[in-house]
Structure 1
Amino acid sequence: MLSLLDLAHLLSSHARVAVTVAVTTKNRPLLDSLLSRSPAVVPLVLPFPDYPALPPGLENSKDLHPAFFRSLIHALAGLRDPLLRWARSTPQPPTAIISDLFLGWTTDLAAELGVPRLTFSPSGALAVAVSNVLWRRMPQRSNVDDPDCPISFPEISSSPVFPWRHLSMLYRTYKQGEPISEFIKEGFLSNNASWGFVFNTFADLEMVYLDHLRKDLGTPRVWAVGPLAPPDGPAERGGASSAVACEMMEWLDRCPDDSVVLVCFGSQHVMAPPQAKALAAGLERSGARFVWCARGGTAVPVGFEERVAGRGLVVREWAPQVAILGHRAVAAFLTHCGWNSVLEAVAAGVAMLTWPMGADQFMNAKVVVEEAGVGVALCEGADAVPDPDEVARVVAESLGLSGKESRDRAKEQSQKALAAVKGVGSSRRDLDEMVAELSKLAVN
């Protein structure tokens, strides 16, 4: 959601674009930061659809079990009729719909309103290229009992191969004829019929996959407008500022340049106790300075914080990740490789230590390690328990001489990322071209 709101902010900065953001009731507070920066943006608050399969309050829960995630995607289609009624009654009806790739049903909604739909991807171009092949060709394992059975993608540039377990949970849990499975499949296939496609990425990072998608989707209207996260954006983006966050930034101020590793696994994953124990032991043995953003419920070992006092911080509240990554003291980032996190690290010029766990994260890690060369692999899998000595080695090396090549490449990639969104940079050009195309539609 954050990257889509960042896109809304960018669009609203154009005099020719009026932006209305549809949001459900409990997620309305997430718009506060956007509305403070973009007073011209209008919120459209809709009640969450009745859907008995979802427990109350799950609409904005961060504890989303895969089965509930499937149901959530299905439930959101209940917004179709309220959106249709609003669009037909508002004095200024929409001239286009931009919605993310989990809302494929909005393609039909746009067609009924006679306006174009643009699919927004919060994932990178490689992940979407893989997803398109999956739902179109429906490849299966040659050995149904082997989670490592390789699935090849010769249709895609570089012909990547991924083990079955690296593929999207939504695809791996598909059951032919089962209503929610078929709804999800139809939604992803409907995305391919969109009028245009908007990616939170930039040409220098994923040009080969963007070019592939233009050919695969049969349209030049594939726009890369990232990185979308503003490096100088509000500190409360994604959460409320706290005293702990302020103290953490003050602690970083006292650290030497390029001396700290940030450890954060996003908003979805709670580490199992054996994982937290192994990670803590590795961080302790590494001798490195670090900030560990340990999501609530993470079983940080008793006594760990006292033993690393002075060189390590454990933060249990929300932390401003963009601001932390942009701090001069931070040189490396141990991450789950969510695409927002990847782009935030790239923009900040911070090397990554990858631990992909699910969704698109394995594809993202491939871009980081094998293609951009701005990171090294540390671990993989949501249930994996790393060797503490390996964690210690990789973390220590990320700050030392052997990690200099990745750090240097990260800084070079940062310059390209920042150049892309400024002046005549590729992402700025794509954004302006998209606005120009939308403006033509409004005139017609």
Structure 2
Amino acid sequence: MALTAKIHVLIFPYPAQGHMLPLLDLTHQLATRGVSITILVTPKNLPILDPILSEHPSIKTLVLPFPPHPSIPPGLENVKDLPIQAFVSMMCALRELHRPIVDWFGSHPDPPAAIISDMFLGWTHHLAVELGIKRFEFSPSGALALSVIYGLWWSMPKKDDPSDESQVVSFPEIPNCPKYPWWQLSTVYRSYVAGDPVSEFIKEGFWGNMKSWGLVINSFSELERVYIEHLRKVLGHDDRVWAVGPLLPPDNDHPSGPVQRGGSSTVSVEEIKSWLDEREDQTVVYVCFGSQAVLTNDQVRELALGLEKSGVSFILCVKEPTKGGHVCAGSCATPRGFEDRVAGRGLVIRGWVPQVAILRHRAVGAFLTHCGWNSVLEGVVAGVALLCWPMGADQFSNATLLVEQLKVGIRVCEGGQTAPDSNVLSRAVADLVSEQHAEIRKRVKALRETALAAVKEGGTSVKVLDELVEHLATL
């Protein structure tokens, strides 16, 4: 579908890889359908746009200086270069772009009629109201996770005992009544202190999300139908919730892997592919914890020992220190001699990995993941069984969906500070690539076909994307 008349939209991503990439994938879909687009970005993050700007030369950029913030060292404008606690600082810093955006808007000959901005930029709802345009929240999280986030900020639950981190919080208004101990709830929410200016700004941001004109979510109806319907109900606008996922890179038709969207690696893409080519179908376990998770040395040790004891072939992705000097988990933290002992059946990669290409290789049968939503969708689209180790943020909700409801995975550990038992882990890893869990593998293969059908011509998500563009055209 292509527009007969151009509609101009401002895209404003939050500068964290797990947030930026799916919103850029959405941007690609909108540009393909004829939407005129400007992407707001700070100077250090401009190179991340190179692939999409090359694909769509018509896309414009609005490059604004990153606002200084006392908690963010100069020159660091992406969360991947900062500790996890920097999420809130980044949210606060970016609100200082409010006035520069208003000034740009006032001087632009063809100002946007709408803004699509990340869920961590809820203040842009008030910006849109000031400008007289519509703001659409983009959620890189799934519908169940977003339902829980909305439930938290709407009802504002408190602990009966301030020292009790295990107190269970229930969400009876959400389908299937999910419940979580306090320590598994959003870190951003748990850090809320009534009356604190930063806390109140964060709260107003999430309330702004719930007041925004529309919601675009990286999920699809066949995966989370009841939760998408729930979001429509609680937001009060049935026709302005668009589930457009799974959002995939532009060249997703090539299973060998999309364009590189990460940094440097100790192993080339060609070496990884050659290594996998030598393995039998669905025998390799891929292990990766995303761009943000930071493991302790104890966790890395137990993880490595579990993989060693399992006897299976595996690819283990570990991190290197970031530019900001914050040492991430796994950098030289594997047990002494580990790589020599697993040589031939284990491949250890430090730095960036071509995750989509690895997951889609015929040799990979299971994915040990932190359950970040992008990783979940990539695993589902690849049709691999999931070993779930949720650590924070929306990951506990995602694990609920995968393990209890869809039954396409099993839990192997929980928590950002909990180390798994290497013996338990080794059995789980070995079982999931054997006939022990044939039903799980059968279900995830079926889910893969459903996901791929959703993004093919005539599929549910393609139709929803077309409806979104038609709605934008009415503005």
TM-score per shorter chain, which class?
Answer: over 0.9
1:418 to 432, 447, 452: 452
Does the alignment pair 1:393 with 2:422? no
Amino acid at match of 1:121: S
- Scaled by the length of structure 1, what TM-score is found? 0.96
Encode CA deviations 1:123-162: one digit per residue, 9 max, x unaligned: 0111111111111110112222221110010111111111
CA distance in structure 2 between the aligned counterparts of 1:110 and 1:239, rounded to whole angstroms = 34
Could you tell me how far 1:83 is from its partner in structure 2? 1.3
Does the alignment pair 1:99 with 2:90? no
SS in 1 for 2:387: strand
Does the alignment pair 1:324 with 2:358? yes
Amino acid at match of 1:194: S
Q: Which residue of 1 aligns with 2:161?
A: 143
Q: Is the 8 A contact 2:246 2:455 kept in 1?
A: yes
SS in 1 for 2:428: helix
Q: Which residue of 2 aligns with 1:312?
A: 346
Q: Which residue of 1 aligns with 2:5?
A: none
Could you tell me how far 1:403 is from its partner in structure 2? 2.0
What does 1:198-347 correspond to in 2, within 5 Å? 198-220=216-238, 221-230=240-249, 231=252, 232=254, 234-239=258-263, 244-296=268-320, 297=328, 298=330, 299-347=333-381
SS in 2 for 1:134: helix
Q: Is the 8 A contact 2:370 2:391 kept in 1?
A: yes
CA distance in structure 2 between the aligned counterparts of 1:168 and 1:245, rounded to whole angstroms = 35
CA distance in structure 1 between the aligned counterparts of 2:92 and 2:473, rounded to whole angstroms = 32
SS in 2 for 1:192: helix
SS in 2 for 1:395: helix
Q: Which residue of 1 aligns with 2:442?
A: 408
Could you tell me how far 1:242 is from its partner in structure 2? 7.2
CA distance in structure 2 between the aligned counterparts of 1:19 and 1:243, rounded to whole angstroms = 36
Does the alignment pair 1:113 with 2:131? yes
Could you tell me how far 1:244 is from its partner in structure 2? 2.5
Q: Which residue of 2 aligns with 1:437?
A: 471
Amino acid at match of 2:471: E
CA distance in structure 1 between the aligned counterparts of 2:316 and 2:432, rounded to whole angstroms = 16
SS in 2 for 1:81: helix
Unaligned 5+ segments in structure 2 are 1-19, 321-327
CA distance in structure 1 between the aligned counterparts of 2:310 and 2:262, rounded to whole angstroms = 31
CA RMSD, aligned part only? 1.4
Could you tell me how far 1:392 is from its partner in structure 2? 0.3
SS in 1 for 2:336: coil
Encode CA deviations 1:322-380: one digit per residue, 9 max, x unaligned: 11111111110000000000001111111100000000000011111111111111101
CA distance in structure 1 between the aligned counterparts of 2:267 and 2:369, rounded to whole angstroms = 24
- Scaled by the length of structure 2, what TM-score is found? 0.90
Q: Which residue of 2 aligns with 1:21?
A: 39
CA distance in structure 1 between the aligned counterparts of 2:31 and 2:346, rounded to whole angstroms = 40
Encode CA deviations 1:22-48: one digit per residue, 9 max, x unaligned: 111111111112222222222221110
CA distance in structure 2 between the aligned counterparts of 1:270 and 1:152, rounded to whole angstroms = 28
Residues 27 and 86 from structure 1, CA distance in 2 versus in 1: closer, same or farther, beyond 3 angstroms?
same
Could you tell me how far 1:245 is from its partner in structure 2? 2.8
Q: Is the 8 A contact 1:74 1:180 kept in 2?
A: yes
Q: Which residue of 2 aligns with 1:90?
A: 108
CA distance in structure 1 between the aligned counterparts of 2:420 and 2:81, rounded to whole angstroms = 23
Q: Which residue of 1 aligns with 2:28?
A: 9
1:168 to 183, 186, 203: 186
SS in 2 for 1:62: helix
Amino acid at match of 2:436: S
Q: Which residue of 1 aligns with 2:385?
A: 351
Does the alignment pair 1:47 with 2:81? no
Residues 66 and 307 from structure 1, CA distance in 2 versus in 1: closer, same or farther, beyond 3 angstroms?
closer
Residues 241 and 276 from structure 1, CA distance in 2 versus in 1: closer, same or farther, beyond 3 angstroms?
closer
CA distance in structure 1 between the aligned counterparts of 2:265 and 2:295, rounded to whole angstroms = 24
SS in 2 for 1:58: coil
Amino acid at match of 1:86: W
Could you tell me how far 1:269 is from its partner in structure 2? 1.8
CA distance in structure 2 between the aligned counterparts of 1:148 and 1:199, rounded to whole angstroms = 30
Amino acid at match of 1:372: L
SS in 2 for 1:102: helix
Could you tell me how far 1:235 is from its partner in structure 2? 2.8
Unaligned 5+ segments in structure 1 are none
Q: Is the 8 A contact 1:107 1:193 kept in 2?
A: yes
SS in 1 for 2:474: helix
Amino acid at match of 2:455: V
Q: Is the 8 A contact 1:374 1:409 kept in 2?
A: yes
Could you tell me how far 1:110 is from its partner in structure 2? 1.0
CA distance in structure 1 between the aligned counterparts of 2:470 and 2:263, rounded to whole angstroms = 33
Residues 240 and 29 from structure 1, CA distance in 2 versus in 1: closer, same or farther, beyond 3 angstroms?
farther
